[in-house]
């Protein structure tokens, strides 16, 4: 029997036998604006507040302060959770930009060496006893590298470490614009390797129905799980992400 981590994303757990398989890595892939960061933070917030599972969010894209502010619209007070050592934010965005950080947990190397990144992230995870982890995102982590072979090595190293961490982790990646614009994408990640090293792959995208463009969710794979094979409508509401039944689409 596969032990599962409930996601807190309304409508999703019904599609995946009750939640993510524990101690596995889930790849959440999609174009800009499809809701990857909100989806991931909702998973962490639910784990902390409903499952007593501390979580860590590693950001390479947005500043921690912007994330805290943005998540308040859903009623998710991250500062309060940080004050109780239930949640930690790791600032990789400042290191990526080569600017100083005022955050307690900040990556110091502007080179973002993968071994140093993992050491610092896992130190934070151990400090708060994290059971859930989000790394947002792979393309931002590898932005300084022009050689895709080196980027693939980073992704493989990341996967190996996460598989031994005892955490149920989400990593996010970008889809090429052509894959997210419509139709079935030929790849489910930016570098074409992320989907092979992850235990699960969830695709968030925009799908056109008539004259409208709507967000959608598709579970590409989830090991050890009988999951839905359909593309489901997805909404971002004042309470966070909601996954709807297929027959709820308004054509």
Mean pLDDT of the chain: 89
**pLDDT bucket at 178, cuts 50 / 70 / 90:** very low
In 3D, which of 80, 87, 84, 19 has the Cα closest to residue 48? 87
Is the bond leading into 137 cis (omega within 30 degrees of zero)?
A: yes
Question: What contacts 25, CB < 8 A, 6 or more positions away?
Answer: 159, 162, 163, 169, 170, 171, 197, 198, 199, 200
Q: What is the pLDDT of residues 24-51, one digit of tens each?
A: 999 999 998 999 999 999 999 999 999 9
pLDDT of residue 251: 39
pTM summary value: 0.92
Distance CA 175, CA 52 (A): 33
Q: What is the pLDDT of residues 184-221, one digit of tens each?
A: 566 777 777 788 889 999 999 987 655 567 899 999 99
Q: What is the CATH number of domain 23-202?
A: 3.40.50.300
Which of 11-15, 62-66, 113-117, 165-169 has the lowest average pLDDT? Answer: 113-117
pLDDT value at 112 more than 80? no
The 3-state DSSP class for residue 247 equals helix
Distance CA 126, CA 53 (A): 12
**pLDDT bucket at 180, cuts 50 / 70 / 90:** very low
pLDDT of residue 109: 65
C-alpha angle with apex 66: 123 to 93, nearest 5 degrees?
50
pLDDT of residue 131: 98
Mean pLDDT of 62-72: 98
Which of 103-107, 109-113, 181-185 has the lowest average pLDDT? Answer: 181-185
H or E element in which residue 119 lies: helix 114-128
């Amino acid at each position: 029997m596969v032990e599962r981590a409930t996601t807190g994303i309304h409508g999703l757990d019904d599609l995946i036998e009750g939640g993510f398989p524990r101690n596995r890595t889930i790849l959440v892939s999609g174009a800009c604006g499809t809701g990857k960061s909100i989806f991931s933070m909702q998973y962490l917030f639910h784990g902390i507040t409903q499952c007593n599972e501390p979580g860590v969010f590693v950001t390479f894209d947005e500043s921690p302060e912007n994330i805290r502010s943005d998540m308040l619209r859903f009623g998710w007070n991250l500062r309060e959770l940080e004050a109780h050592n239930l949640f930690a934010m790791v600032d990789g965005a400042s290191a990526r930009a080569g600017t100083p950080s005022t955050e307690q947990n900040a990556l110091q190397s502007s080179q973002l060496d993968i071994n140093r990144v993992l050491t610092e992230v896992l130190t934070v995870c151990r400090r708060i006893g994290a059971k859930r982890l989000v790394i947002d995102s792979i393309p931002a982590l590898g932005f300084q590298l022009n050689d895709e072979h080196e980027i693939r090595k980073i992704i493989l190293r990341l996967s190996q470490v996460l598989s031994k961490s005892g955490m149920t982790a989400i990593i996010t990646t970008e889809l090429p614009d052509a894959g997210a614009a419509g139709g079935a994408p030929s790849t489910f990640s930016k570098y074409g390797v992320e989907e092979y090293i992850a235990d699960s792959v969830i695709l968030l995208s925009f799908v056109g129905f008539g004259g409208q463009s709507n967000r959608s969710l598709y579970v590409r794979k989830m090991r050890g799980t009988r999951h839905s094979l359909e593309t489901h409508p997805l909404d971002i509401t004042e309470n966070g992400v909601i996954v709807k039944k297929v027959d709820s689409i308004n054509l």
